[in-house]
Chain A
Amino acid sequence: MADVAPVIDARALRFSYPGGGFRLSVDAFSAQPGETVALIGPSGCGKSTFLNLLAGVLRPDAGNVTLDGTPLSPLAEKARRRLRARAVGFVFQDFGLLDHLSARDNILHPFRLSGALRLTGDVRDRLEALAARLGIAALLDCRPQRLSYGERQRVAICRALLSRPRLVLADEPTGALDPATKRAIVDLLVEAARLEGTALVTVTHDHALLPAFDRVEDFAKLAVVQ
């Protein structure tokens, strides 16, 4: 990779939930623009917690996370949320779609809830283009209940990418899908990341998907969990 500042850079992270019982330590982690990283490890080993630390959803007890060149620790909650809304896209295992909204409204959801994002005509045009690229253009007026799991995840991916984030965090994005669809979804994510210059950090425990990524990190080696 060329000598470019990483999109995400975590140093000497220490985190534990209140009440103790879980401690996470990560010395160093980073991802470059357009780089696709797979984080592999068994369930319950702290991968999701790590993703939340990278996104600024959780505050580390010690250490620092720099997102798109901005250290997260000094930021107040509101600033962190706005940075997250602008710079991070999320894809969840359970899709994270709201049943009472259509696919279109689900995709636009962040634009309606965050002051960091403005819903303009350009955004709507980009939505149509992204949806076409993801093969869901005809499904935009459907509600999630009427979509297959694969279609739902495509909608979620479209939501994650619409704001042109610097970083996409995908937590087990294929967990609920059948094998054929898993591959398709991962390919979509990877292709979109590369095209948009977005860093992609994907948590998965499915080894069959690993060849699609630029880098694979074994979370057990990356982090110390107690």
Chain B
Amino acid sequence: MRHILAAIAVALSPITAAADVIYTVNWPLFSFANAIADGRVEVVFPAPLDVDPAYWTPDADTLLAYQRADLVLLNGAGYAKWVEDAGLPRSRLVDTTQDVRDRLIEMDSGPVHSHGPDGAHSHGGGLAFTTWLDPDIARAQAQATYDAMARRWPEHAETFAAGHAVLDRQLAEIDAELHAAFAPLRGRSVLASHPVYQYLGRAVDLDLISFHWEPDRTPGQEEWARLDAAVEERNATIMLWEDSPTPETIELLDERNVKVVVLPPLGNRPTHADTSMPDVLRNYVDGISSN
């Protein structure tokens, strides 16, 4: 009798769901997997358009979909804290920066406190996670993605290899182009609206000075004072923004001879749905070159 019930329950609610699907935690990984898969497997990045995936928390149904996926591509470096808390099958998680852990960047820590038996600790700090902005690390992530996909679906290994080869070549080309584009700024100080360009900065040898300025808000006097000090001390003339700042901010920056360069960090999908990661990174090249 119990076996009949079990059979009925299988029909009603299986734990394993549709086959051949990859879920990713951000858009760059989605782009890589899609390019490699070439349609052989479905790739899903379910975060809504209006959220930063790094801080987004999926609802229960979406978490279940992640749980049932054949592969879940993680960015690593502490990206998407929800992953730590979610019950995802570890053998199907792929940390795409695992092989480059020694190249991950530590950030400044948050407030230190203590309670309980373990002494002082901090919940701020950690690792910078916009790893894909360093094309070289992006290539490593693409490689990790390909390796996992080929292991999971060896029957498509050839197709995946071809897709990965194209992607890798594109990323290598962009790497060279970025270096060339940022060459005039090498070693110089560059301002950043948020601490999200660490990997880019390291890759192209920028001295990044980061603030916590929101694009939709004009900063206050204290913040401008801090910026003025940086401009004066470090002779910074460019400020990288995730999105266009307010006209007032642009004007005030212009008064200080600081040019605004919008380089979206690309955690979520860009406006144009059919844009690929290499294409978007090429926009960085264009964005810097024009300034």
Direct contact of A and B (CB under 8 A): no
